[in-house]
Amino acid sequence: MIHLNVIGCGRVGTTLATLLQRAGVCQVQDLFSRTFDTAQAAAQFVGAGTAVAHMADMRPAEVWMLSVPDTQVAAAAGELSRSAGLFPPSNGRAPTVFHCSGFLPATALGALQALGWQAASAHPVMNFANPAQCVSQFRGTPCGLEGDEQAVTLLRELLSAIGGECFSVPTESKPLYHAAAVFSSNFMAVLQAIAQEGWAAAGVPAALMPRIHGALLRGSVDNLLTLGPPKAITGPAARGDTAVVAAQAAQVSQWHPEAGEIYRAMSVLARRLATTGSTQSLFDAGLSPEHEAGPTPRIGP
Ligand SMILES: NC(=O)c1ccc[n+]([C@@H]2O[C@H](COP(=O)([O-])OP(=O)(O)OC[C@H]3O[C@@H](n4cnc5c(N)ncnc54)[C@H](OP(=O)(O)O)[C@@H]3O)[C@@H](O)[C@H]2O)c1
């Protein structure tokens, strides 16, 4: 049985530890977090493992998960390397260590790679709101893997055993790969917040807001998933109503200058998406700029 130690007992760490324990592919052994209470709560949720108060108290293990925030990955690896250097080799094989960041490469764990450990990054493409929900929703979650070959092979086995669908991410593409996930998910929340604030400022009754918001958002998500973005896009910019776009952008800017900037930039991309099927400039694709001009602007419903 593979022993799993966990450093960072938040949403991702607790969810993955629980799933790996329940699937019987790992025995969760020691759990450490910045706060001891968090490690204790995680051990209780997982139903296995021992919460420890100091990283140096953790026992040797075949697999280590560093599920700490991105900014803490290198520091946690460095701290672990200072105590792990004292560990006797486990079964004569170097331990495997991984973090869960979509942005950082496996080399963020360089302090441990320098000791001969095999390192990987394993990024589950999922919104980890809370462990109870995520444990039941994890099956079928795509997991982007990257790093040392031996570590990637082991992580592929472990994550597949809990229902993850693993794929490889080229190391040099990780920042762009993760930025795409930010556009797909995180920025959705910002756009929805701007919309709600705009309706409120425009005097839409608060009681009506959930219905307006829900109807538009659900309809958009359904269309995006069934038709794809180029066919799902609607609105004044997509239609080429440039006079409406200009007047509306000026109004938005008066109300909320940053939202005005986003409105203008998004309108350019919306128009391009509707007319060419891509948000990227046709100049880059080597096509004629006339394609981007689209039909003559008009004002209408
Ligand atoms: N959330 C997501 O949707 C999601 C999705 C995919 C990947 N990820 C990645 O998964 C990783 C963890 O994210 P998360 O959402 O699980 O974060 P989280 O819920 O904030 O959990 C992080 C945990 O790490 C602990 N911690 C912080 N600094 C530490 C340190 N120096 N040493 C030990 N423990 C430390 C915190 O401790 P205390 O609570 O004890 O203070 C916290 O419990 C990140 O790399 C993130 O990019 C997140």
Best mutation site among 14, 19, 34 for ligand 1 pocket (most ligand atoms within 8 Å of CB): 34
Q: 3-state DSSP: the chain helix, strand, coil percent, rounded to 5?
A: 55, 15, 30
Span from the CA of 236 to the centroid of ligand 1 (angstroms): 41
Span from the CA of 104 to the centroid of ligand 1 (angstroms): 14
Domains, the chain, in order of start with CATH, read 2-169 (3.40.50.720), 175-293 (1.10.1040)
Residue 13 CA, closest ligand 1 atom number: 16
Torsion angle, alpha carbons of 65, 15, 125, 228, to 10: 180
Q: Which of 81, 74, 57 is nearest to 108 (CA)?
A: 74
Q: Which of 144, 147, 155 is nearest to 110 (CA)?
A: 147
pLDDT of res. 147? 98
Span from the CA of 246 to the centroid of ligand 1 (angstroms): 43
Span from the CA of 66 to the centroid of ligand 1 (angstroms): 9
Nearest-CA residue for ligand 1 atom 48 is 12
Q: How many Å apart are CA 81 and CA 90, to the nearest integer?
A: 15
Nearest-CA residue for ligand 1 atom 20 is 10
| Residue carrying structure tokens 């209780």 | 44
| Residue carrying structure tokens 């009681």 | 207
Say how many C-beta atoms besides its own lie within 10 A of residue 245's C-beta: 23
Q: How many Å apart are CA 65 and CA 25, to the nearest integer?
A: 14
Q: Which of 124, 158, 154 is nearest to 26 (CA)?
A: 158
Spell out which residues line ligand 1, taking CB within 6 angstroms: 7-13, 33-35, 38, 67-70, 72, 75-76, 99-102, 123-124, 126-128
Say how many C-beta atoms besides its own lie within 10 A of residue 249's C-beta: 20
Nearest-CA residue for ligand 1 atom 10 is 100
Span from the CA of 7 to the centroid of ligand 1 (angstroms): 9
Residues, the chain: 301
What strand order describes the sheet that includes 118-124?
Answer: 50-51, 26-32, 2-7, 63-66, 96-99, 118-124, 142-147, 165-168
Q: How many Å apart are CA 21 and CA 4, to the nearest integer?
A: 9
Cβ atoms of 229 and 221 within 8 Å: the answer is: no
In 88-133, beta strands by DSSP E: 96-99, 118-124
Report the SS3 class of residue 3. Answer: strand
φ, ψ for residue 299 (rounded to 5)?
-110, 130
Best mutation site among 68, 83, 125, 141 for ligand 1 pocket (most ligand atoms within 8 Å of CB): 68
267 exposed, middle or buried (CB, 10 Å; 0-12, 13-18, 19+)?
buried
Nearest-CA residue for ligand 1 atom 18 is 10
The rounded average pLDDT for each run of 10 residues, N- to C-terminus, in the chain (301 residues) is: 97 98 98 98 98 96 97 98 70 89 98 96 94 96 98 98 98 96 94 97 95 95 97 96 97 98 97 96 60 43 37
Span from the CA of 71 to the centroid of ligand 1 (angstroms): 10
pLDDT of res. 296? 41
Nearest-CA residue for ligand 1 atom 19 is 10
Span from the CA of 95 to the centroid of ligand 1 (angstroms): 21
Cβ atoms of 29 and 60 within 8 Å: the answer is: no
pLDDT of res. 93? 80
pTM for the complete prediction?
A: 0.88
Span from the CA of 35 to the centroid of ligand 1 (angstroms): 12
pLDDT of res. 287? 54
Q: How many Å apart are CA 49 and CA 30, to the nearest integer?
A: 5
Say how many C-beta atoms besides its own lie within 10 A of residue 74's C-beta: 18
